[in-house]
C-alpha cells in the first residue's frame, strides 16, 4: 500500500484492502458470512485455463471492476481483488516477456 492513502479511525477514506477485513493482500480468509464453506473453490484454478479462457476471464474482471468497487459488498470486492490477482499472476507467469508498448513507457 502506498502512503498516499489516507485512513484514520472513523473515516471512510480507506482503501479496499483496509476496509475489507478478510483481505490480506493475497487471500480471502473467512467467506462464511457469504455462505461459502471452507474448501469451496471460488473459480477455476488459473493454471488450468487455456490461454483464450484466461484472457476472457481477465477481460470480464476488468470490465466489471468499477461497478464492483463502487457498489459490491466488501466480501464481493475482496473476492474480485483475489481473483484478479490470481488471473494476472498466471498471465505474467505465462508471458514474462510480454510485448511492451513503447508509447506506455515514461521518459527517464
Span 24-53, mean pLDDT?
65
Alpha carbons within 13 A on the beta-carbon side of 94: 15
Q: CA 59, CA 65: separation in Å to the nearest integer?
A: 10
DSSP helix/strand/coil, 15: coil
pTM attached to this predicted model: 0.62
Q: Is the pLDDT of residue 12 over 90?
A: no
107: confidence class by pLDDT, cuts 50, 70, 90: confident
Portion of the chain with pLDDT greater than 70, in percent: 61
Render the burial of 1-37: b for 16+ CB within 10 Å, e for the rest: eeeeeeeeeeeeeeeeeeebebbeeeebeebeeeeee
Q: Is the pLDDT of residue 39 over 80?
A: no
Span 60-73, mean pLDDT?
95
Amino acid at each position: 500500500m502506498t502512503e498516499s492513502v489516507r485512513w484514520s479511525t472513523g473515516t471512510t477514506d480507506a482503501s479496499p484492502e483496509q476496509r475489507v477485513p478478510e483481505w490480506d493482500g493475497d487471500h480471502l480468509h473467512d467467506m462464511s458470512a457469504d455462505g461459502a464453506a471452507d474448501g469451496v473453490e471460488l473459480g477455476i484454478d488459473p493454471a488450468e485455463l487455456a490461454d483464450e479462457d484466461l484472457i476472457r476471464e481477465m477481460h470480464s474482471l476488468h470490465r466489471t471492476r468499477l461497478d464492483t468497487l463502487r457498489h459490491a459488498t466488501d466480501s464481493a470486492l475482496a473476492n474480485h481483488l483475489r481473483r484478479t490477482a490470481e488471473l494476472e499472476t498466471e498471465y505474467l507467469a505465462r508471458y514474462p516477456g510480454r510485448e511492451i508498448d513503447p508509447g506506455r513507457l515514461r521518459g527517464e
